[in-house]
Amino acid sequence: MSRDRAGVGSAAEPTDQLAMRRANLSRTLRYIRANGPRSRAAIAAATGLHKTTVSSLVDELSTRRLVRETDLEYSGSAGRPGRGVSLSPDVGAIGIEINVDYLAVHGTDLTGRTVIQKRVGYDATRGDVERCLADLTDVARRSLAELTRRGVTPIGLTVGIPGLVDAARGVVVLAPNLGWHDVPVAARLARTFGPKLWIGVDNDANLAALAEHAGGVAAGTDDLVYLTGEVGVGGGVILGGRLLRGADGFSGEIGHLLVDPGGDRCGCGRVGCWETKVGLAELLRRAGPGAADGPDRDSMPDPHHRIRQVARRIAAGDQAAVTALAEIGRWLGHGGAVLVNLFNPRVIVLGGYFAEFADRLIPAAQAGLAGLTVASTARRCHFVASHFGFTAAARGGAGVVLDRMIEDPTGFPLAESRPLAAV
Amino acid sequence: MSRDRAGVGSAAEPTDQLAMRRANLSRTLRYIRANGPRSRAAIAAATGLHKTTVSSLVDELSTRRLVRETDLEYSGSAGRPGRGVSLSPDVGAIGIEINVDYLAVHGTDLTGRTVIQKRVGYDATRGDVERCLADLTDVARRSLAELTRRGVTPIGLTVGIPGLVDAARGVVVLAPNLGWHDVPVAARLARTFGPKLWIGVDNDANLAALAEHAGGVAAGTDDLVYLTGEVGVGGGVILGGRLLRGADGFSGEIGHLLVDPGGDRCGCGRVGCWETKVGLAELLRRAGPGAADGPDRDSMPDPHHRIRQVARRIAAGDQAAVTALAEIGRWLGHGGAVLVNLFNPRVIVLGGYFAEFADRLIPAAQAGLAGLTVASTARRCHFVASHFGFTAAARGGAGVVLDRMIEDPTGFPLAESRPLAAV
């Protein structure tokens, strides 16, 4: 869980045999991931490694169950189908996001196939931190078991949290809307799942940004900001293809910028934070379900359910809802301009509930960018709606485990067939 | 002048013999720079390269005049002084900053010794872009000649500009306070100095941030923001040891954040930008030289001269000057909180005129951080005054040339003895 750092201009350099082996294992995996199944000869040609080295690397990766032999689609030079090496669907990872009003789970195998995807309403503000951790552990246990049942051995788990996370230590330093303060989430999960499972904790917006960069609407864009659209609003920032963390891992906390000194009180305790202008709570306060909608039949809140109610009001021409969205769009433009002036991204991805109302929010937000940014070229930045809904962070969480493993396969315990049978 | 980029988790990997040679030349130079003069045997032991390879690398670097043989201070194993390889003081670089009211020059050799350092008052707003470029070219020519005269052959030159710079193309896209728009500075200088000289152009705050990171008050800190304190105010951001650029190279433009919709008009054409609250023009408007100070005897404006006048007023208890600085300190805290929430730096370095009044500005600014940032740990960020005065950007400009050369020595023409004699 150490942070990925490199000095200005420095490059990772293997310094001994073991490090060289590790780098070559990673190189082989990355090459296959980028290019699909390839023969050992092709891997050797592309990486510049000797054929016998490649064979030994593939043997080790195979023992670790990270690659398998496969038939290549194209024919070999002798006219018969060649044998190739592909990433294995036998191992995978889980990402879980715990937010104010839902839990989301994403499970994937090493090839990137989605194996589990679900979201359930959950009231994280009911009960204390201990109860949340117990529920989180329970969801993790069931998700890991389900992945195993589907033939995919989990090698790791990342939890996404809407707050300030010390990812290096796996500690939630502060999650204002959950009411969490200095919660050692990784250590607590490790107590249950033991050393066989790699466990990470990260900020929800960071994980969502990674998911969008890897395979979402911002794929192919190396400079992007992801905005969560939940009760809280956070930013995950990727510049030059790298996730920004800052000195403590708290980069991107745009939700708590002071934008209105005379404004409403925020979950963080201060007044006038940007998230009080654009967060889901503000939309629901102004345009949410009221007496007219009848009693809420869900015992658990679910953002999707509430959002559908707002959408129905808008379809019915409810002026309060229309006005609320217009105002939120304007404030999105205000915050977007800050992001453009400071980060200069090419894309701002709108996640969570923002994506549901993108048609109404984006035109107002985009107009804000044009008026409030210094560089006309910086206005080439566009707001884009996420396709991942409320599961982007969970998806990113699973991806982070696999990325980490591909960076250093030797840093993970060997994926045994059923390591979690006893859990 | 291409930008330094790497994908998430990817590492630079030499792909052929030439690239491997380049990487090893760079590795040798970096090792000597980090550790001081070292014997060939020590270099071989530390880098894992074969002794004959190291000898061949050192020979090539010596031919390029980038290293020289030297007596090591400590004794060899046989009791006689060992022979070592050190960076050469025979080659160097120039950095020039052109700002609204001054020109600064810094010349250094490869060992980091300062050879030239000067600042002159200059009115960049008098006359058009062509005249500025002619003056800039003239200053560059004289500085390069002076470096040569002092026995240091210049291999490159970087110009720092207070504005949006496309560093990859060497074009100033927009410098509001200079009135420059799409000015191809690198191409114009290359017309005079030809292909023998590496020429770069970059944002002044970016260059200053690099200088502070390499050897200023933020040395040893990998997460910092540098704020220029000139007529304009810009930010240069280093996170995780890397300079942030963003999609177009415009990251860090904090000067043009809207902070007061009913405020004054900015050099950029809009109203209420942060720089109208904290820029040097605002200080001088409120507390600058007036009739009471007698006529300004300098034909050229020089920020230092004006700042000394404000300092004298403060020493004399002038209430307008004291109030102006208190107000500027408060706005510095406001902007600093934005930087802390979004970048999470450990240090915010105050450059230019801010540094001159650090005693008065920092307490007010630091209080702003405490009140306006979400994470108590993020409040571990501190404002610190630069020691480089108005020459930080020029210093960074010279450093950038040498960093680039050390990254890829083969990318520079061989440094001949007097390549610029004919200029």
Q: Counting one residue from A and one from B, how many pairs have CB atoms under 8 Å apart?
A: 206
Instruction: Locate the DSSP E strands across B179-303.
Output: 180-183, 198-203, 224-227, 235-239, 242-243
Q: Is residue B420 part of a domain?
A: no
% of chain B with per-residue pLDDT over 70: 88
Q: Is residue B178 part of a domain?
A: yes
Query: Quick one: pLDDT band at residue A4, thresholds 50, 70, 90?
Result: very low
Residues A246 and A379 grouped into a single domain: yes
Mean pLDDT of B110-137: 92
Query: Quick one: pLDDT band at residue B213, thresholds 50, 70, 90?
Result: very high
* Amino acid identity for residue A393 in this structure: A
Token pair of A229 as six digits: 């659209």
Q: Any idea which residue has 């300062």 for tokens? A: B114
Q: Is residue B129 part of a domain?
A: yes
In whole angstroms, give the CA distance from residue B250 to residue B85. Answer: 40
Comparing alpha-carbon positions, the chain A residue that sits nearest to B381 is A247
Residues B258 and B398 grouped into a single domain: no
Residues A201 and A311 grouped into a single domain: no
A187 close contact with B: CB closer than 8 A: no
Please list every residue in chain A whose beta carbon sits closer than 8 Å to the beta carbon of residue B177: none
| The pLDDT of residue B75 is above 80 | no
Q: Give me the domain span that covers residue B181.
A: 91-209+392-411
Please list every residue in chain A whose beta carbon sits closer than 8 Å to the beta carbon of residue B16: 48
Residues A139 and A269 grouped into a single domain: no
Residues A197 and A246 grouped into a single domain: no
In whole angstroms, give the CA distance from residue A395 to residue A403. Answer: 12
Count CA within 13 A, CB hemisphere, residue B341.
30
Mode of pairing for the β-strands spanning B91-98 and B153-161: parallel
Find the CATH number of the domain harbouring A58: 1.10.10.10
Please list every residue in chain B whose beta carbon sits closer than 8 Å to the beta carbon of residue A23: 11
The chain-wide mean pLDDT, for chain B, equals 87
Facing B13 at nearest CB: one of A10, A27, A173? A27
Q: In 3-state terms, what secondary structure has residue A34?
A: helix
Instruction: Report the length, in residues, of chain A.
Output: 423
Residues B353 and B238 grouped into a single domain: yes
The pLDDT score that the predictor gives to residue A81 is: 61
Read off the pLDDT of residues B388-403 as tens digits, 9 standing for 90 and up.
989 999 999 999 999 9
Final residue before a domain boundary, out of A69, A87, A105: A87
The pLDDT score that the predictor gives to residue B404 is: 94
Instruction: Report the length, in residues, of chain B.
Output: 423
Helix intervals (H) in A202-279: 204-215, 275-278
The pLDDT score that the predictor gives to residue B415 is: 62
Read off the pLDDT of residues A54-96 as tens digits, 9 standing for 90 and up.
999 999 999 999 999 888 766 555 555 678 999 999 999 999 9
The pLDDT score that the predictor gives to residue B74 is: 60
B271 close contact with A: CB closer than 8 A: no
The chain-wide mean pLDDT, for chain A, equals 87
> Who has greater pLDDT, A197 or A79?
A197
> Who has greater pLDDT, B297 or A369?
A369
| The pLDDT of residue B12 is above 60 | no
Contact flag B222-A342 (C-beta cutoff 8 Å): no
Instruction: Locate the DSSP E strands across A24-64.
Output: none
Q: Is residue A375 part of a domain?
A: yes
DSSP B9-48: T------SHHHHHHHHHHHHHHHHHHH-SB-HHHHHHHH-
Q: Is residue A9 part of a domain?
A: no
Residues A61 and A190 grouped into a single domain: no
Contact flag A338-B342 (C-beta cutoff 8 Å): yes
In whole angstroms, give the CA distance from residue B227 to residue B216. Answer: 14
In whole angstroms, give the CA distance from residue B57 to residue B85. Answer: 11
The pLDDT score that the predictor gives to residue B346 is: 95
Question: In chain A, how many domains are there?
Answer: 3
Read off the pLDDT of residues A148-190 as tens digits, 9 standing for 90 and up.
999 999 999 999 999 999 999 999 999 988 999 999 999 999 9
Please list every residue in chain A whose beta carbon sits closer than 8 Å to the beta carbon of residue B342: 235, 237, 251-254, 257, 338-339, 342-343
User: What contacts B267, CB < 8 A, 6 or more positions away?
Assistant: B176, B177, B231, B232, B275
Q: What angle do CA B337, B217, B118 make, to 5 degrees?
A: 115
Facing B374 at nearest CB: one of A15, A268, A372? A268
Read off the pLDDT of residues A366-391 as tens digits, 9 standing for 90 and up.
988 888 777 666 568 999 999 998 99
Mean pLDDT of B112-137: 92
Residues B240 and B332 grouped into a single domain: yes
| The pLDDT of residue B79 is above 60 | no
The pLDDT score that the predictor gives to residue A195 is: 84
* Number of other residues whose CB lies within 10 A of the CB of residue A99: 27
Mean pLDDT of A190-200: 92
User: What contacts A216, CB < 8 A, 6 or more positions away?
Assistant: A349, A386, A387, A388, A392
- Answer for the pair A159, A136: CB distance below 8 angstroms, yes or no: yes
Q: Is residue A422 part of a domain?
A: no
| The pLDDT of residue A287 is above 50 | yes
Q: Which residues pair with A265 in a beta bridge?
A: A271
> Who has greater pLDDT, B412 or B294?
B412
For residue B10, which phi and psi values (nearest 5 degrees)? Answer: -80, 160
Query: Quick one: pLDDT band at residue B300, thresholds 50, 70, 90?
Result: low
Query: Quick one: pLDDT band at residue B11, thresholds 50, 70, 90?
Result: very low
In whole angstroms, give the CA distance from residue B226 to residue B207. Answer: 9
Q: Which residues pair with A347 in a beta bridge?
A: A224, A382
Residues B27 and B113 grouped into a single domain: no
Q: Is residue B64 part of a domain?
A: yes
Q: Any idea which residue has 């728009």 for tokens? A: B181
**H helix or E strand, kind and range, residue B131:** helix B129-149
Residues A75 and A98 grouped into a single domain: no
Token pair of A89 as six digits: 């669907």
The pLDDT score that the predictor gives to residue A419 is: 44
Contact flag B374-A253 (C-beta cutoff 8 Å): yes
B326 close contact with A: CB closer than 8 A: no
The pLDDT score that the predictor gives to residue A394 is: 98
Residues A37 and A59 grouped into a single domain: yes
Facing A11 at nearest CB: one of B11, B256, B376? B11
| The pLDDT of residue B299 is above 60 | no
The pLDDT score that the predictor gives to residue B419 is: 43
| The pLDDT of residue B76 is above 70 | no
Listed residue (B124, B110, B118, B98) closest to B153, CA to CA: B110
Read off the pLDDT of residues A226-267 as tens digits, 9 standing for 90 and up.
999 998 899 999 999 999 999 998 999 999 888 888 899 988
Residues B272 and B369 grouped into a single domain: yes
> Who has greater pLDDT, B421 or B116?
B116
Read off the pLDDT of residues A396-423 as tens digits, 9 standing for 90 and up.
999 999 999 999 998 877 665 444 433 3
Query: Quick one: pLDDT band at residue B243, thresholds 50, 70, 90?
Result: very high
| The pLDDT of residue B380 is above 90 | no
Count CA within 13 A, CB hemisphere, residue A183.
27
Contact flag B173-A256 (C-beta cutoff 8 Å): no
Find the CATH number of the domain harbouring B166: 3.30.420.40
| The pLDDT of residue A117 is above 90 | yes
Mode of pairing for the β-strands spanning A67-75 and B102-109: unpaired
Comparing alpha-carbon positions, the chain B residue that sits nearest to A176 is B374
- Answer for the pair B230, B240: CB distance below 8 angstroms, yes or no: no
Q: Is residue B41 part of a domain?
A: yes
| The pLDDT of residue B351 is above 90 | yes
Contact flag A4-B9 (C-beta cutoff 8 Å): yes
- Answer for the pair A40, A54: CB distance below 8 angstroms, yes or no: yes
